[in-house]
Structure formats: structure tokens, C-alpha cells
Homo-oligomer: A and B are copies of this chain.
Amino acid sequence: MIHKVAILSTGDELTTGKVVDTNSAYIAESLFSMGLDVVAVLKVGDTKERLLWALDHALSRGDLVIGTGGLGPTADDLTTAVVAEYFGRPLRTDQAVAEALKRRFEARGFPWTENNLKQAIFPEGAAIVPNPVGSAPGFRVERDGKALIWLSGVPREMQAMMKETVLPWVAAASGAGKISVATFKINGLTESKLDDLVKGVSLPPEGRFSFRAHYPDLTLKLTVRGEHLDGKFDELTGQIRQILGAHVYAEGDVTLEEVVGKLLRQKGWKLALAESCTGGAIAARITRIAGSSDYFTTSVVSYSNESKVRFLGVKQATLDAHGAVSCETAIEMAEGALRAGAADVALSTTGVAGPGGGSEAKPVGTVWIGLAQRGGSEARLFKFSGDRDRVIHGGAQAALNWLRTALQ
């Protein structure tokens, strides 16, 4: 029965700091949320001695070891041979994998060279872990009740292999049975406040909360193990919805800009933006989504007062009387974007991102957000703490979230 897991990330690029290892965090979160215990993560470079040391120590700590990296066709990709040696098994070519590799190369018009066959070689008796989005499959070997699973080190490939093959296998092998997962995307709460709030949920022993925080994004995941818990699971998600209320902007693994894009598309509405303190950050998030040209027309990033007047029709008298960072300017900016951007709804931001430019009346972190639609317009005052980056991205998140609630 698998309960303790060790994770092993390999590659010289990790021990020289050339790239940050995100794979181990992804794998750790996936397993933790299933109720498994990640006892250690090890990272070593691509040498035989170090791989053997790491394999030995990872397998001494975990019932299951999940490793990544070193499955490529070149000479410095040692993993498969080292694993075979460690387990005392000969290497065997898997004919089905070899043929699939050749077909893949042909289909893409890449020249086939024999060293690519290296990716079809596995330790004898290994189970293949298919790679649905890349060329190198992974494998699983077992001995003495322990299992080692090895995956591609390319994050996109590793994630696909985890989802399609590894997690279902782990669910069965860990006796977890059916795994029910609910993901809540959170707005307007700090991590510690979220942590406090969900303590009020009466979680059964087979349930677990996990968190992922990447400011301004915050995700709560509920995982419950067990076959006959359908009613119980619905009851738990209901409790969470009640406790978190409007702080939940979506369920499922989606971004706020995806939610907003979908709502705009449903209504057949067009969006325009007038960004001052967010400096293009909202437009950049909206346009990351493929197809956003269907519902997004324009953002005027008006950093100067002149451009607020010229592009958005903000009145000079308004700027003189109230300043650029004011309720009145935010409203005129949003109305200008709505009109000039030929949109159905428009957002504006104007604030003090810092570190300079603050005053007693308008300290760093002060952000006015405006929202205009044909029925009328409104502005709201927000206060953010932290450095320039946090004010910019906090402002962008608050603006998108207000737009979401206005569209719903």
C-alpha cells in the first residue's frame, strides 16, 4: 500500500540554477491532495553516481518514487540505463513504442536517426507510461512492494503523463479508491484568511484541503478519497460555497480572465479598457486568451494626463479639480473607453503604484477603479499594500473581478 512518496528531479540545469524546478511542486501538490505524504524531494545532476545515490535514498524514504528528466535521445540522458542497473534488469526495446516513434517523426517530417530508438528502450518488465504530448514515454518498475515511476522532465509532458496514467494508477495502488476533487478560485482573501475560514468546514478524515498561492491568484482544492461519498462530497462543496460566498470567482482550474472572456462571449458584449496605474496588465491578461479579439476592442494605457484627455475625453477641469487619481477621473476614463472603444462595457484604473508619488491623502496603494456600461457608470476605491508589482497586479485582479460580477 502506497502512502509515502519521494520525488526525484534530475538534470544539471537544476543543480546549476539555470532553471527553477516546477515539476516537483506540481507532483507534490497532486499527490498531497490525494492524501499521500511527500516525505522528501531530491534534486541531482546527470551523473551516474549521483543518480544512483538519489534513487537509493528516495526508495529508502518512499513506497513510491516519482522521478523526472533524462529520458531524451542524447548521450547525457542516462536515466533509463541507471535505473535498469539499480534494479538489476537488462534493457529491452519495446517494439510498439519504437514504431510509434518512427511514425511520429515521419508525420512531422523530421529526419529519423537511430539514436532516437533510445527512447524506446526500457528496463525489462517495466510498464510503459505513454506520453500523449511528446516523444519520450515514461515507465514504471516495481520491486519489494515499492514502485518507481519515471516521467519526461518537460513540464507540459510530465503534467499530461501524471493526469492520464500516473494519478489513476496511484489512486488504485494507494487504496484511495475513487478520488473526488473540487477546485475553487478565490478572490479578495489572503492565504491566511482563507485558511482560517475553511477551518470551519467539518472535513472527514478522508478529505483534505490544499492551497496554491501565486499573487494575485489563490486556489483552494478539496480532495476526498473513497467510493461511496458522493452525497458527502456534495455536502462539503456546499459548505465551502456557503462559507466563501462571493470570494469564489470560479470552480475548476480556470483563470479570472477566462471567466470574464466566457461571460463577455455569452452576452455578445465587447470590452474596452482605460488603464493608468495597471499599465497594460489587464489588457495583457485579457489578450493571453486565444480568441479574445472576438470580445476585446481596445485598451488605452494612458500614463500621461494629456493622453487621458486626448484619447479618452477626460476633462482638463476634472483633472485640475480632483487630480488624476480620483473617483471623477476614473469615471470619465471608463466612459471615454466605452465610447471611443465602441464597447458595451469598460473598465478604468487610476492609482498610485509607487514607490514614489504617494501623499497623505492618496498614499501608495490607492487605486480608483471605474466601470461604465450603457446604463451608467460607477467608481470604487481600493487600497493595496506591498510593492509596485503587488499594487499593479492587485489592481488588475480587482478590476477583472468587478467586471465578472457586473457581467453575471
Which A residues form the contact surface with B (CB < 8 A)?
14-22, 24-30, 32, 38-45, 50, 53-54, 57, 61, 210-213, 273, 275, 279-284, 286-288, 290-293, 296-304, 306-307, 310-311, 340-342, 353-356, 388-389, 392
Given known A-B contacts A40-B42, A43-B24, A280 and B290 have beta carbons under 8 A apart: no
Contact, CB under 8 Å: A284 / B287? no
Given known A-B contacts A17-B32, A18-B212, A283-B279, A307 and B297 have beta carbons under 8 A apart: yes
A156 to B280, CA, bound (A): 26
Residue of chain B at shortest CB distance from A5: B15
A94 to B298, CA, bound (A): 59
Contact, CB under 8 Å: A280 / B299? yes
Q: Which of A293, A301, A311, A392 has most chain B Cβ within 10 Å?
A: A301
Contact, CB under 8 Å: A392 / B41? no
Chain B residues with CB under 8 Å of A44's CB are: 39-41
Counted per complex, copies of this chain come to 2
Expressed in whole angstroms, the minimum distance between the Cβ of A20 and any Cβ of chain B is 4
Contact, CB under 8 Å: B38 / A41? no
Chain B residues with CB under 8 Å of A306's CB are: 297, 342
Residue of chain B at shortest CB distance from A9: B41
Chain B residues with CB under 8 Å of A19's CB are: 25, 212-213
A301 to B282, CA, bound (A): 11
Select which of B17, B20, B212, B353 is within 8 A of A30 by beta carbon: B17
Expressed in whole angstroms, the minimum distance between the Cβ of A5 and any Cβ of chain B is 9
Given contacts A19-B213, A298-B307, A300-B311, 20 further A-B contacts (CB under 8 A): A16-B210, A17-B25, A17-B27, A17-B32, A17-B210, A21-B21, A40-B43, A42-B43, A275-B283, A279-B287, A279-B288, A287-B303, A288-B392, A290-B355, A292-B303, A293-B303, A298-B300, A298-B304, A298-B311, A310-B342
